[in-house]
Amino acid sequence: MSDSARSAAADPSGPVPTGPRPRRRVSRGNVMLYGTLIVIAVYYLLPLYVMVVTSLKGMPEIRVGNIFAPPVEVTFEPWVKAWGEACTGLNCDGLSRGFWNSVSILVPSVVLSIAVSSISGYALTAWRFRGSETFFTILIFGAFIPYQVMLYPLVILLRELGLYGSLWGLVLVHTIFGMPILTLLFRNYFATVPKELIKAARVDGAEFWTIFLKILAPMSLPIFVVAVILQVTGIWNDFLFGVVFTRPETYPMTVQLNNIVNSVQGVKEYNVNMAATILTGLVPLTVYFVSGKLFVRGIAAGAVKG
């Protein structure tokens, strides 16, 4: 990926960038810009390189090993093992086992937490009432409480609600812990929207929900993308709540990842660890890449504003 970027930057006679606004041709400033980006990209990619290379080696080679050396003998066995053969106790079907469980936890949790938080953020910006900011401050305080400290109170709460052990209990937990930061995210982004816009809509008699759905949400695409990135990552990678609030049949993928990576006794298979980590990261990564396109559309939305 960085190869193509490098050739584009280093080769001024190459095709002229076809951005929306070709105001700058390839210049010295451009070389600096791409040069800087590429140097930084190398720093970010170095650990990934080590992970990929390690995941393609056999264990004997790793034992001998220089971590930077490319594999002498490329093997995809660790990947196959991580996906379909690694055992969680007796269930030897690897990460594949938890994949759909993770998806079925992820989708409702992300949707619900973003819906609830964006509406709260909106209400806090445009429809404040006495005390609403106090509740909000308390909520922000919640962002700083380590999850593990809240584990037992949550168990007791869900038991009393009769939701313990159900999917909705887990979705509720993710919604609760996503709420402080997401609400802050939306509240602060909505605050940058010109007040006149909302006021005008209210003068026109627009309703609470109409203003949100028809005016505010469509012009806030970038921040929804950020929220999705945050939640997809957090919920997909969650291990503690996933394992505490579900049953073995519905364990998420991270339980398997933990089992592969986190064994204390027995032989540690670093190559399988690396492959499993990259595989588990693929879903968030895909979301990042796809949602990135929406960022660009955020500019278009911004243009509408003006």
Looking at beta carbons only, is 73 or 266 nearer to another protein?
Answer: 266
The pair of three-digit structure tokens given for residue 7, joined into one six-digit string: 């050739």
Looking at beta carbons only, is 109 or 259 nearer to another protein?
Answer: 259
Looking at beta carbons only, is 151 or 217 nearer to another protein?
Answer: 151
Q: CB of residue 265 vs another protein: minimum separation in angstroms?
A: 5
Q: CB of residue 83 vs another protein: minimum separation in angstroms?
A: 14
Q: Can you give the C-alpha Rg of the chain in angstroms?
A: 24
Looking at beta carbons only, is 56 or 226 nearer to another protein?
Answer: 226
Question: How far is the C-alpha of 29 from the C-alpha of 138, rounded, in Å?
Answer: 47
Nearest in space to 102 (alpha carbons), one of 252, 245, 232, 2 = 252
Show the 3-state SS of 192-232: CCCHHHHHHHHHCCCCHHHHHHHHHHHHHHHHHHHHHHHHH
Q: CB of residue 71 vs another protein: minimum separation in angstroms?
A: 15
Q: CB of residue 200 vs another protein: minimum separation in angstroms?
A: 15
Three-state secondary-structure class, residue 91 = strand
Looking at beta carbons only, is 104 or 239 nearer to another protein?
Answer: 239
Q: CB of residue 155 vs another protein: minimum separation in angstroms?
A: 4
The pairs formed by 209-214 with CB atoms below 8 angstroms and a separation of 24 or more are: 211/126, 212/119, 212/122
Q: How many CA atoms lie within 13 A of 36 on its CB side?
A: 5
What backbone phi and psi angles, to 5 degrees, belong to 109? -65, -45
